[in-house]
Amino acid sequence: MIIPTEIIQQKRNGGSLSSVQLREFIRQYVAGNIPDYQMSALLMAIFFRGLDADELVTLVRTMRDSGKVLHLSDITGFKIDKHSTGGVGDKISLILAPLLACLGIIVPMISGRGLGHTGGTLDKLESIPGLQTRISLTKFKRILREVGFVIAGQTDEIVPADRRIYALRDATATVESLPLVVSSILSKKLAEDLDGLILDVKTGTGAFFPKQEDAIQLASRLIAVGEDFGIRVRALLTRMDQPVGVKVGNWLEVCETVACLQGKGPTDTMFEVYALALLALRAAGFTDDSSELLSQLKQAISSGAAMERFLLYVRLIGGDIQVIENTARCPLPPAIPIIAVKSGFVTELNAYQIGIASALAGAGRQRAEDSIDPVAGIHLHAKIGVVVQEGEVLAEIYTHKRNTNEICKLVSKAFSISAEKLPLDKIIIGEVTRNSELKPFNELV
Amino acid sequence: MIIPTEIIQQKRNGGSLSSVQLREFIRQYVAGNIPDYQMSALLMAIFFRGLDADELVTLVRTMRDSGKVLHLSDITGFKIDKHSTGGVGDKISLILAPLLACLGIIVPMISGRGLGHTGGTLDKLESIPGLQTRISLTKFKRILREVGFVIAGQTDEIVPADRRIYALRDATATVESLPLVVSSILSKKLAEDLDGLILDVKTGTGAFFPKQEDAIQLASRLIAVGEDFGIRVRALLTRMDQPVGVKVGNWLEVCETVACLQGKGPTDTMFEVYALALLALRAAGFTDDSSELLSQLKQAISSGAAMERFLLYVRLIGGDIQVIENTARCPLPPAIPIIAVKSGFVTELNAYQIGIASALAGAGRQRAEDSIDPVAGIHLHAKIGVVVQEGEVLAEIYTHKRNTNEICKLVSKAFSISAEKLPLDKIIIGEVTRNSELKPFNELV
């Protein structure tokens, strides 16, 4: 028998919890024997005191084992998932998953929804008419076996502890805690029976952890704990100062995904896709040199193989593939243009403000129960480093909202235009190691 | 409209809350619109970040105003209460209140119950057959007017916010927070419509804040906030290394109270009673010199006036005064003696261990809903500084419990006996000022 107040007090005083204490606290909470108010006190104590390596492994394992765990051993192949810490315009997963599947990697991907200024992969997929990401485990495995990848929502059966704890953290201002973020990410990923995990850890204005040192800490702890569970983890540190690609919003990002899969995607987006793909292939044991792997990846795009996989997946999960094959069939609301008030170089394009503007336009939600408008969003016509002329269209807003003043103001303010050109930061900062080192990533240069 | 998570986050990040934020959070909590789990997260954030002076005043005021507030303006006289931070064998209130009433001070005292190793004034009083401390406000005022003092329990009408928050703190390991302790004490005291408040702030092994610097901090914050509300606050720092007096346990302490009121009390207990009484008289504006006041206090004891007031109070509140007039009429369980295993000076008599032993014997409770045995307790036959011989009785345990091994072991271990005599610490360390200074208190030397 554990005494909850003793455990809270021990953590509050900076002590370490034994694996029995922490495990039983979580289990009793999930079983309904420990009330929310004791869990929230423990979460706040963890916010201030942290968790050591052993505590974190115990927390991750207990959360993972709170529900069903996938068993994919009957599907042959190296199983890998990619996780992004969340950003604006981040449709990388939708492109990366079919691409990796073309090279024989098995990608079982359980994704989440957007909250606040960041979008969610499931919301993007569900902007495709008919598509339903809430599927059974049986269907999940059937699609995975047939297509080589699957993207679906978390069912009630998988990691129920995380769902309950995450909702409580959201209501008690304990979201931004490194060990709690790590446990939430890894408990879900480890329930997928993976061999490897690729992390896209974002930093900058639009990232969950804007400061680079915090993002590096997060990456290195994810690697350390993941590897303690016996999977191969690689982490790329990428810049989220401006949105990824040129489209932000659910259906708009599906359109951009289709463009990427057709070989017509923006350079920054494809650069990031290829970088993460290379990390995944190396983790899976591919030993060819980078240029050889890169040409295989490009071949999967140019041959239409990746697009074909994507269409097969959409069809099997209930989506209308006709609108995918011809995205113009999906009507958008009238565009509201945002005009450059002066000429010069775009020196800033604040991802956070664009994310908030897109959410306000209808693409995001403030609360988990809010509904979203699939076609709302923002199309960016200029990005950092580009020259614009006064009167030129910087962006177009798609929304069904009546009052668009604040949205327009936010998008307009997100752009900084200057006479002087600033040096352009690379989207990929480097690869983070288990020991918080930052290795240059030059594979694509 | 306030957003609870924003308020929690602001405090978590070390910011100050506006009076509107803090007040509305508490009000909405008491009204049931903010759930326990958000309050417990805020309490834990306050544990780590503290509260500044303005926040603390807002918290105290909001808690005080969460229920009914006494209006005693129709009772003439300076109204004073005394609060002890809690100790072992602390029956001072029961002696001090009738004594001060004899000198014309009005003492409206709302007391609490014991928890853990410390006793509670209400539990002590209710060991008197028939006595019921749960009375209406009307009866409270009637007794106060007639006797000059009254000691009663907190009703549901007074400071409901404190009752709810205290229960939550107890369950979430947020009891030991200086601002939360201050708000809990002062909100209740300020609801009594006082002119002055005397604090007996304990330090040492048996105290709630064992470290002297923590106790001083508590005292000075209580003075500062209390004075901001316009009442005169005086604080004495006293030692709680060994129990007060020689009896610990509810009925046993009533017996010792009666002995004190009959002029036959232990020196340490009366010393503390007189010191606190002098502080109270000075706060009330008595300008006579100390020796004159002291002789008036001693006269109130020797004349039987204080005892008479006590008996009148007991009668009015429903207690059987025959057992008070002849305490031997109340049968005790057979005494279990604890024997000195060697000869020497008593150099330590651990108040905490005696408190726990007394609680285990049946005098205390582990949880608020536990019932207690009124006659259980410990009679100490030796205190620090006394010479004892091997084989002499150090203490007697009164209990109806079957298994007394652990209780005996605790009481035995609470005594340290040494060949060398240590210098004796004075029970009164000094008077604490608003600025955390410690002034010598030499009035009785």
- Per the CB < 8 A criterion, the answer to whether A388 and A340 are in contact is yes
Helices vs. strands in chain A: H and E counts, helices first: 17, 14
pLDDT number for residue A288: 86
Quote the percentage of chain A above a pLDDT of 70: 99
Q: Assess whether pLDDT exceeds 70 at residue B108.
A: yes
- Per the CB < 8 A criterion, the answer to whether A153 and A111 are in contact is yes
Banded model confidence at residue A329, pLDDT cuts 50, 70, 90: confident
pLDDT number for residue B113: 77
Lowest mean pLDDT segment, chosen from A150-159, A290-299, A320-329, B26-35: A150-159
Query: What are the chain B neighbours of A5 within 8 Å (beta carbons)?
Result: 170-173
Neighbouring residues of B299: CB distance < 8 A, sequence distance ≥ 6: B305
Query: What are the chain B neighbours of A173 within 8 Å (beta carbons)?
Result: 5-6, 8-9, 12, 41, 45
């900058």: which residue's tokens? A204
| pLDDT tens-digit readout, B80-99 | 999 999 889 999 999 999 99
Tokens encoding B148: 């000059």
Q: Among candidates B61, B48, B34, which has minimal Cα distance to B173?
A: B48
Task: Name which of B28, B34, B46, B172 to mutate to probe chain A: the one with the most chain A Cβ atoms within 10 A of its Cβ.
Answer: B172
> Across all residues in chain A, what is the average pLDDT?
94
The tally of CA atoms less than 13 A away on the side-chain side of residue A241 is 18
Q: Which residue has the higher pLDDT, B30 or B154?
A: B30
CA A139, CA B116: separation in Å to the nearest integer? 56
Q: How distant, in Å, are the alpha carbons of B113, B265, B275 from that of B254?
A: 15, 12, 21
Tally Cβ neighbours within 10 Å of residue A321. Answer: 16
Using the beta-carbon criterion (under 8 Å), do B36 and A41 form an inter-chain contact? no
Q: Among candidates B167, B159, B166, B110, which has minimal Cα distance to B134?
A: B110
Banded model confidence at residue B118, pLDDT cuts 50, 70, 90: confident
CA A27, CA A306: separation in Å to the nearest integer? 42
CB pairs under 8 A between A and B: 76
Banded model confidence at residue A335, pLDDT cuts 50, 70, 90: very high
User: Which amino acid is it at B89?
Assistant: G
pLDDT number for residue A8: 97
Closest-CA distance, A134 to chain B, in angstroms, reads: 29
Q: Is B265 exposed, middle or buried (0-12, 13-18, 19+ CB in 10 A)?
A: buried
pLDDT number for residue A445: 61
- Residue-level length of chain A: 445
CA A219, CA A233: separation in Å to the nearest integer? 10
Residue A202 phi/psi, 5-degree rounding, is -90, 150
**pTM for this model (two decimals):** 0.87
Which chain A residue has its CA at the smallest distance from B165's CA?
A: A37
User: Which amino acid is it at A317?
Assistant: I
| pLDDT tens-digit readout, B371-402 | 899 999 999 999 999 999 999 999 999 999 99
Section A329-338 average pLDDT: 93
Active site residues of B: 83, 162, 169, 184, 188
The β-bridge partners of A196 are: A80, A232
pLDDT number for residue B330: 87
- Residue-level length of chain B: 445
CA B323, CA A117: separation in Å to the nearest integer? 72
Q: How distant, in Å, are the alpha carbons of A194, B96, B146 from that of A233?
A: 10, 70, 78
Residue A337 phi/psi, 5-degree rounding, is -80, 145
Section A268-296 average pLDDT: 95
| pLDDT tens-digit readout, B402-412 | 999 999 999 99
pLDDT number for residue B115: 67
Chain centre distance of CA B256: 16
Section A244-267 average pLDDT: 97
| pLDDT tens-digit readout, B60-76 | 999 999 999 999 999 99
Which chain B residue has its CA at the smallest distance from A167's CA?
A: B37
The tally of CA atoms less than 13 A away on the side-chain side of residue B321 is 12
- What strands lie across the sheet with B344-349, from one edge to the other? B387-388, B344-349, B415-418
| pLDDT tens-digit readout, A374-391 | 999 999 999 999 999 999
Task: Name which of B28, B40, B177, B180 to mutate to probe chain A: the one with the most chain A Cβ atoms within 10 A of its Cβ.
Answer: B40
Neighbouring residues of A8: CB distance < 8 A, sequence distance ≥ 6: A38, A41, A42, A45, B172, B173
Residue B163 phi/psi, 5-degree rounding, is -60, -45
Tally Cβ neighbours within 10 Å of residue A27. Answer: 16
Torsion, Cα of B287, B292, B294, B296 (10° steps): -100
Beta strands B393-398 and B335-339, pairing class: antiparallel
What is this model's ipTM? Answer: 0.85
CA A320, CA B429: separation in Å to the nearest integer? 82
| pLDDT tens-digit readout, A108-127 | 999 877 767 777 899 999 99
Element (H, E) at B144: helix B137-147
pLDDT number for residue A317: 97
pLDDT number for residue A72: 95
């008479």: which residue's tokens? B308
Q: Assess whether pLDDT exceeds 80 at residue A49.
A: yes
* Residue B227, SS3 per DSSP: helix
CA A202, CA B131: separation in Å to the nearest integer? 68
Q: Which residue has the higher pLDDT, A261 or B427?
A: A261
CA A170, CA B6: separation in Å to the nearest integer? 11
Quote the percentage of chain B above a pLDDT of 90: 86
Task: Name which of B37, B43, B165 to mutate to probe chain A: the one with the most chain A Cβ atoms within 10 A of its Cβ.
Answer: B37
Residue B203 phi/psi, 5-degree rounding, is -140, 160
CA B287, CA A373: separation in Å to the nearest integer? 77
Q: Among candidates A293, A350, A273, A337, which has minimal Cα distance to A94?
A: A273
Banded model confidence at residue B445, pLDDT cuts 50, 70, 90: low
Closest-CA distance, A80 to chain B, in angstroms, reads: 36
